[in-house]
Amino acid sequence: AIPLVVAINTSLAARNGMLIRDRIAMEQARDLDAIIFDKTGTLTEGEHGVVGVATIDGVDEDEALALAAAVEGDSEHMIARAIREAADERGVEARRATDFEAMKGRGVRATIDGREVFVGGPNLLDHLDSEVPPDLASFADEAGENAQTVVYLVREGELVAAFAMADVIRETSYRVVDALHELDIEVAMLTGDSEDVANAVADELGIDTVFAEVLPEDKDTKVQQLQDEGKLVAMVGDGVNDAPALTRADVGIAIGSGTDVAVQSADVILVQNNPMDVVRLVKLSKASYRKMQ
């Protein structure tokens, strides 16, 4: 009887846009204690637009945008796209940058007119041992409270500007959290974004556990942390950065147009980028495997 049940389950899953790469993981989905979601692009739309710029005295906003857009180069990161778009919209002239370097989970670095320039978030500031100057602190605090992502421009060791970017919580995320709570599943969120933004999104959605400012290489240790508490854990993500966490999880779920690396690390692939499919997956697992007991 077992092969038959599995067969039914697999085709049912496929019809629901779920590709199962590991049947054991699919079976474990019915017993999950906790599900960890990547924030950006999964629980939120991930479409950042620059909504505010603040600079220190002596630097104007257009100059700051011109530098930041140049440092972002042709980075595919959503933050990079938002900054380039904002520079375009204001018609600021692009600066010439060389020696680009992507600093995973922190930001980007380049050389402009012989000077070293960085753009990045709190993890970058930690790395550079740099601090937000008093004249930019209230801008950054207010943005954080409004769940806006803030990145900073650091030129030759001096933090000269801050950019606030807005992301939007997806409508379905509210229903996903409620539905998982009804199934007695703890909902967690994992992000490289700041504590402020993470907490604002988590409060809004009623998320139980928040891991923020996590570097890509540390994401899997957060999965492990919940497993060490004796929990059976699923991870839902789409990025290259999420791959080790997907591998570590008892059930690794790649979602939407996930990167190849994420897809190859996952047990289940959700074809549509709809977090509600995570709830469907748990319910399908419960319904399918009950028959086998």
Looking at residues 139 to 168 of the shown chain, list those that interact with ligand ADP (rule: CB under 6 A). Answer: 149, 151
Longest dimension (CA), the chain: 75
Specify burial of residue 218 (Cβ count, 10 A radius: 0-12, 13-18, 19+). middle
Please report whether residue 284 would count as binding ligand ADP according to CB under 6 A.
no
Residue 169 per-residue DSSP state:
B
CA distance 76 to 178: 33
Q: Which is nearer to ligand ADP, 40 or 265 (CB)?
A: 40
* Closest CB 27 distance from ligand ADP, rounded Å: 29
Backbone angles phi, psi at 198, to 5 degrees: -60, -45
Looking at residues 215 to 274 of the shown chain, list those that interact with ligand ADP (rule: CB under 6 A). Answer: 216, 239, 241
- The answer to whether residue 135 is catalytic is no
Among the options 22, 31, 33, 38, which is catalytic? 38
What track of x and - describes contact with ligand ADP for positions 104 through 143 (by CB under 6 A)?
-xxxx----------xxx-x--------------------
Q: Cα dihedral angle (208, 209, 212, 215), rounded to 10 degrees?
A: -140
Interface stretch with ligand ADP, choices 50-58, 99-107, 129-137, 223-231 (CB under 6 A):
99-107
Selection from Mg ion, ligand ADP, none that 288 binds (CB < 5 to 8 A by kind) is none
Neighbours of 96 (CB within 10 A): 9
CA distance 68 to 165: 14
The residues annotated as belonging to the active site are 38
Residues that bind ligand ADP (CB under 6 A): 39-40, 72, 75, 77, 79-80, 105-108, 119-121, 123, 149, 151, 191-193, 216, 239, 241
